[in-house]
Amino acid sequence: MGDVFTPEKRSAVMRRVKGRDTAPEMKVRRLLRGAGIGYRLGGCGLPGRPDVVMKGRRIALFVHGCFWHGHDCSRGARQPRSNADYWLAKIDRNRVRDARVAAELEAEGWRVLTLWECEQKTPDWGERLLARVRG
């Protein structure tokens, strides 16, 4: 099945993809706030600028989009149709960077949690995330 947009429109759509305050991030923040768990935004000067930082718990939480960060789910396995070489190389670089940043944070004594976009599709995602945060 071909793309529903023209190449120009697809390019415009991709340019508008947000890097912060995404819907998955907002769901996580609402969940944490509702559970009374304090957090900070903006990375707090940490490597990789985690999406959510819980300083008292020393947790750096990343909310990753499956496509952009190359998750092994069906959405992450999708192949871009246009400019494929560029996008596949970019996703590979993202994966390498994500692993490097996690290692740096762990070396500094932080617990690194990654929540994948697809995990939020399961009904118990919130309970499981809260258990990981509290555990």
Give me the domains of the chain, ranges plus CATH numbers. Answer: 19-134 (3.40.960.10)
Query: Which residues is 64 bridged to in the sheet?
Result: 116
Contact between residue 23 and residue 121 where contact means Cβ atoms under 8 Å apart? no
This prediction has a pTM of: 0.83
pLDDT digits (tens, 9 = 90+) for 57-105: 999 999 999 998 999 998 888 888 888 899 899 999 999 999 999 999 9
Dihedral, CA of residue 104, residue 107, residue 109 and residue 115, to nearest 10 = 40
Q: What is the mean pLDDT of the chain?
A: 90
Query: Which residues is 63 bridged to in the sheet?
Result: 115
